[in-house]
Amino acid sequence: MKKLFAVLFVIAGLALAFEIGSNIHFMLKPTSTDSTPKIILIEPGSFNQTVALLEREGLISDAKRFRIAVRIMGMSGRVKIGEYQVSADMSPFQILRIISSGKSILHAVKIPEGFNIDQIAEELAKKNLVSVEEFTAMARDPRMAKLLDVEGDTLEGYLYPETYSFTHFTGVRTIIQTMVGKFKEVWERELRFGAQKLGYSQKFVVTLASIVEKETGAAIERPVIASVFHNRLRIDMPLQSDPTVIYSKPPSERLNITRADLVSKNDYNTYTKKGLPKGPISNPGKDAMIAVIEPAHSKFLYFVSRNDGSHQFSETLKEHNMAVQKFQRNAKAREGKSWRDQAENPQLTNKK
């Protein structure tokens, strides 16, 4: 009897060793030599769902054996949601390590200076990182603005323009927190001291910089553009900034300005409202905010587009009217250059 037990024990041991060896061989052998990259999404769910996905994609040849091997290794609970790049020439063990790493694929998205909430939402949505509706709703939610401690009812102006890297699972809230966090980092490091020295609130700087950003075609002009608006504020002269009028309109109607728009009374129309608009109209970059804190020294009160991205600046209305005649009312000078020529409705002359 003892010999029988010994024989059975040896057989069982050999069977176990064979099974372990088979599992090791399975986990170390790729299913094919195809090195074509595959992007797989590991979404919230059970481990069995993940295994089924790997089998469907041809990344493992035996779902049952894979489940057993992974559970023997105690790694079934380590698989993390994310987006991963793998290929069939990787062994199941290599694939397991990748999907257990949590190092999801990052998608770079560039947010240009001067984009508003709607434009940022569209840019993020292009990379399938957010839904436009969810992002705009959260960015305009006063509760989120309060939670993130910004000076305003929305996050307009505080979503810092930068190149970010997010995963498809980052989530709208985290994306927004990251962008506002970047703004606060730049503000504290490079802007707060200068603003406080001049007695400027954060909201003042961000709001005026958001207008400067939208008015500027040539980056080098930012300090001069800022000086014009500072000069106007100093003498209680309306800013008369077209971008503020445009911002007050629904996104689908922002391609043009009508006479009715210029005389409409709202918190953003700087033709009918003196001083700054209610809040920022875009999300300015660092240079635009620095321009507000450190504007050029000038007596300019007016500027008009030269139709090449730069502006003609004037100190008097007479000089300005001459510049308007030269650059805007002269159809030949504007031909194919001015956005007014491309709008569907008749446009008014820029009377900055």
Q: Please, what is the average pLDDT of the chain?
A: 87
- The pLDDT score that the predictor gives to residue 1 is 59
Contact status, residue 237 vs residue 207, Cβ threshold 8 Å: no
Domains and CATH numbers, the chain: 26-101 (3.30.1490.480), 117-298 (no CATH)
Asked whether the predicted pLDDT for residue 192 surpasses 70, the reply is: yes
Residue at token pair 């007479």: 318
The neighbouring-strand residues paired with 163 are: 110
Asked if residues 159 and 100 have their Cβ atoms less than 8 Å apart, the reply is no
Distance CA 223, CA 297 (A): 9
| pLDDT value of position 346 | 37
350 pLDDT above the threshold of 50? no
pLDDT at 338: 45
Query: At 210, is the pLDDT very low, low, confident or very high (cuts 50, 70, 90)?
Result: very high
Q: Residue 79: enclosing H or E segment and its boundaries?
A: none
Q: Which pLDDT band holds residue 11 (cuts at 50, 70, 90)?
A: low
Taking each continuous run of H as one helix and of E as one strand, the counts in the chain are 16, 6
Q: What is the mean pLDDT of residues 120-146?
A: 97
Q: What tokens were used for 122?
A: 């569209």
Output the pLDDT for position 14: 45
What pLDDT, on the 0 to 100 scale, is given for residue 257? Answer: 84
Radius of gyration, CA atoms only, the chain: 30
